[in-house]
């Protein structure tokens, strides 16, 4: 008998276990793969340190601060260099710096003169009335078409690999949505929030981009070490949950094919939406269908390492490419410009992304075609004279990033229905509460509180 079974040893499941450990709960984490971390995976090869999953997070809430304080001595937070403040956007084949304020926005070639005046007048515009309007509709209404094309669209490409015409701010970008909903304006709301009183702990929420010394796997390994390796079972195949009176039976097959059963009072699932139906076959067909309908976009990441780089200086966060520019890649991150010890001395490390919601056909291309695309695009965009990378890796993510679109409200309601019908079965993970690392860490605290 366990108090709690957590399904999934990604960042959400491990951080939930961390809080349960602090509370003294009797828990066990079940993970189907042979290692912890979920989609977080740091690789060290040929003197390079690169990520096969998320590349960074944002210090976006107090729970991120608290987690790293708890893990002091186990891992070390690494804040991105000053290069992170410079973000490049491609327009007409040329990189332009994304403006960081109103004065810069007035001078940038990214936006039309008409839209620059629209931006200045944004605080005086009436708030919208449709809570389910798309991000594209919201931005065009408040800021104009060019701001959508060359600020919001590349931002959404960088975060969601998504389409502003499909994402709904109420679900996908609730902080942005709430600025208009609560304050009537993006700019006015941002200014007013600056003057809100903050606790000393809240003042530490800097929204800095972060990683961890040695890569993000150091974070998940640190939590694994701290909660105790005996609390995590790896290689648990075909995990299934079934209700039994006021408890649950969680079964799985070990590597020898033997079925093991554990009785538990509560279950926390941090699996993807596409896995819930198999894990919890007792859920009604209607609720299961609404949860399973979550749209995950397919993304290819290509890691490039150069021991000697002879292109333009990569002294920024990276470059994002608006859909309007009609290129074959979504963008490129300058990883060795952001974090230390990511490349050999004098070396340069890039992460390039392809595919996404609006270019799903790219995901199906064979590796040699992907290599051709990378060769052509990087040589052109980065003014590279000779394409001879010392590290070249293609990583495919079939379930890369969930898209919080118009059906999200129905999915959230279905999750609520399941949790009410089967008290003690709690659904977490990326089907709700956001997709970023800070979102996952915050949700883990919420899940643990719900259990406790």
Tell me: the pLDDT tens digits for 207-243?
A: 999 999 999 999 999 999 999 999 999 999 999 999 9
- High-pLDDT (> 70) share of the chain, %: 100
Res 358: pLDDT: 96
CA distances from 70 to 21, 172, 199, 233, 445 (A): 12, 29, 19, 23, 13
Above 90 in pLDDT, residue 120? no
Mean per-residue pLDDT of the chain: 95
C-alpha to C-alpha distance for 327 and 317, rounded to whole angstroms: 19
Which residues share a beta bridge with 266? Answer: 4
Per-residue pLDDT, averaged over 171-188, amounts to 92
Query: Could you give the strand order of the β-sheet that contains 391-403, starting from the edge strand earlier in sequence?
Result: 94-97, 87-91, 318-320, 331-333, 348-355, 295-306, 391-403
Two tokens, residue 160: 């969601």
Two tokens, residue 379: 């040589």
C-alpha to C-alpha distance for 288 and 302, rounded to whole angstroms: 34
Residue 196 binned pLDDT confidence (cut-offs 50, 70, 90): confident
Q: What is the pTM of this model?
A: 0.94
Listing DSSP states for 214-247 in one string gives: T-THHHHHHHHHHH-GGGEE---EEEEEEEETTE
Res 43: pLDDT: 98
Taking alpha carbons only, the member of 394, 396, 391 closest to residue 48 is 391
| Helix/strand/coil for 188 | helix
CB 401 within 8 A of CB 435: yes
Res 104: pLDDT: 84
- High-pLDDT (> 90) share of the chain, %: 90
Give the angle subtended at the CA of 157 by the CAs of 133 and 206, to the nearest 5°.
90
Per-residue pLDDT, averaged over 353-367, amounts to 97
Residues contacting 296, CB < 8 A, separation 6+: 272, 273, 274, 398, 399, 400, 401, 402, 403
| Helix/strand/coil for 279 | helix
Residue 307 binned pLDDT confidence (cut-offs 50, 70, 90): very high
CB 1 within 8 A of CB 12: no
> What domains are there in the chain, each with its CATH number?
2-39+216-294+407-451 (3.50.50.60), 101-194 (1.10.3110.10)
Two tokens, residue 174: 């609730």
Res 286: pLDDT: 97
Identify each DSSP E strand in 318-439 by its residue range.
Answer: 318-320, 331-333, 348-355, 391-403, 425-427
Above 90 in pLDDT, residue 103? no
Above 80 in pLDDT, residue 16? yes
C-alpha to C-alpha distance for 440 and 64, rounded to whole angstroms: 9
Q: How many CA atoms lie within 13 A of 140 on its CB side?
A: 9
C-alpha to C-alpha distance for 356 and 364, rounded to whole angstroms: 12
């Amino acid at each position: 008998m366990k108090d709690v079974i957590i399904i999934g040893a990604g960042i959400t499941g491990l951080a939930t276990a961390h809080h349960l450990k602090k509370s003294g709960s009797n828990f066990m984490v079940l993970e189907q793969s042979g290692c912890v971390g979920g989609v977080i995976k740091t690789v060290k090869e040929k003197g390079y340190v690169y990520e096969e999953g998320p590349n960074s997070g944002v210090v976006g809430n107090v729970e991120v601060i608290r987690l790293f304080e708890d893990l002091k001595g186990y891992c070390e937070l690494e804040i991105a260099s000053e290069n992170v403040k410079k973000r490049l956007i491609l327009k007409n084949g040329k990189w332009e710096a994304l403006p960081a304020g109103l004065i810069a926005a007035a001078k940038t070639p990214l936006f039309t003169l008409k839209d620059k005046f629209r931006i200045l007048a944004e605080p005086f515009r009436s708030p919208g009335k449709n809570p389910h309007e798309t991000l594209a509709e919201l931005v065009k209404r408040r800021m104009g078409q060019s701001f959508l094309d060359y600020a919001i669209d590349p931002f959404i490409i960088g975060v969601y690999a998504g389409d502003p015409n499909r994402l709904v701010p109420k679900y996908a970008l609730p902080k942005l949505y709430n600025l208009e909903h609560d304050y009537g304006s993006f700019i006015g709301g941002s200014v007013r929030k600056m003057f809100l009183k903050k606790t000393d702990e809240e003042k530490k929420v800097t929204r800095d981009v972060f990683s961890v010394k040695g890569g993000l796997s150091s974070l998940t390994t640190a939590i694994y070490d701290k909660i105790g390796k005996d609390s995590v079972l790896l290689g648990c195949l075909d995990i299934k949950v079934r209700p039994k009176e006021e408890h649950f039976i969680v079964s799985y097959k070990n590597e020898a094919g033997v079925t093991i059963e554990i009785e538990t009072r509560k279950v926390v699932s941090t699996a993807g939406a596409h896995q819930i139906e198999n894990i919890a076959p007792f859920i009604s067909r209607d609720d299961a269908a609404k949860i399973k309908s979550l749209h995950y976009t397919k993304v290819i990441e290509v890691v490039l390492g150069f021991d000697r780089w002879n292109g333009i200086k990569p002294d920024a966060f990276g470059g994002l490419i608006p859909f309007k520019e009609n290129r074959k890649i979504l963008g490129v991150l300058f990883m060795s410009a952001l974090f230390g010890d990511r490349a050999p001395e004098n070396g340069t490390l890039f992460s390039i992304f392809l595919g996404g919601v609006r270019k799903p056909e790219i995901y199906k291309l064979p590796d040699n075609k992907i290599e051709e695309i990378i060769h052509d695009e990087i040589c052109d965009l980065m003014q590279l004279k000779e394409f001879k990378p010392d590290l070249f890796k293609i990583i495919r993510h079939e379930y890369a990033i969930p898209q919080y679109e118009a059906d999200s409200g129905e999915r959230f309601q279905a999750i609520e229905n399941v949790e009410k019908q089967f008290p003690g079965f709690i659904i977490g993970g990326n089907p709700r509460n956001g997709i970023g690392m800070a979102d996952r860490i915050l949700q883990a605290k919420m899940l643990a509180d719900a259990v406790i």
